[in-house]
């Protein structure tokens, strides 16, 4: 029996990689076959495939063979939600920094 915090760790760890994040962002709008992802993310095909394997393993995406190609999709809308919340946190942190910079400007002026 896996403790909950361990499962959560693995979930977030699966998200903590630039290639995997870009994949999830691309799938945010609609499912896409591997070659479409590859067109947007300029890396070796084998590498993309490995990262897709990690996302699959974490249950974040699903893969469906369609003839010669394989189509990937987010496994649930909640994954999209997680990405959206992350964006909001980032926006929050960014404005925090701007405020900090503004404060520093005031201090320097006075």
Partner DNA sequence: TACGCACTTAAAGAATTTCGCAAGTGTAGA
Partner DNA sequence: TCTACACTTGCGAAATTCTTTAAGTGCGTA
Of 54 and 83, the one with the shorter C-beta distance to DNA is 54
- Residue from the set 40, 66, 78, 103 that interacts with its own copies by CB under 8 A: 78
Residues forming beta bridges with residue 69, ordered by sequence position: 66
**Exposed, middle or buried, 54 (CB in 10 Å: 0-12/13-18/19+)?**
middle
Segment near its own copies (CB under 8 A), from 11-19, 43-51, 64-72, 101-109? 11-19
Helix spans in 16-76 (H): 18-29, 34-40, 45-57
Rounded to whole angstroms, how far apart are CA atoms 3 and 17?
23
- Which partner from the list its own copies, DNA, none does 69 bind, CB cut-off 5 to 8 Å by kind? DNA
Instruction: Kindly list the residues in this chain that would bind DNA in the complex (CB under 7 A).
Output: 13, 16-17, 19, 33-35, 38, 43-54, 63, 65, 67-70
């Amino acid at each position: 029996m896996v403790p909950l915090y361990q499962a959560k760790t693995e979930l977030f760890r699966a998200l903590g990689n630039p290639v995997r994040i870009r994949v999830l962002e691309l799938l945010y709008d609609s499912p896409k076959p591997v070659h479409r992802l590859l067109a947007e993310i300029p890396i070796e095909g084998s590498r993309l495939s490995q990262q897709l394997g990690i996302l699959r393993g974490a249950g974040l995406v699903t893969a469906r063979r369609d003839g010669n190609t394989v189509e990937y999709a987010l496994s649930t809308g909640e994954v999209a939600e997680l990405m959206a919340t992350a964006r909001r946190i980032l926006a929050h942190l960014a404005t925090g920094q701007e405020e900090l910079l503004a404060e520093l400007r005031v201090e320097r002026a006075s």
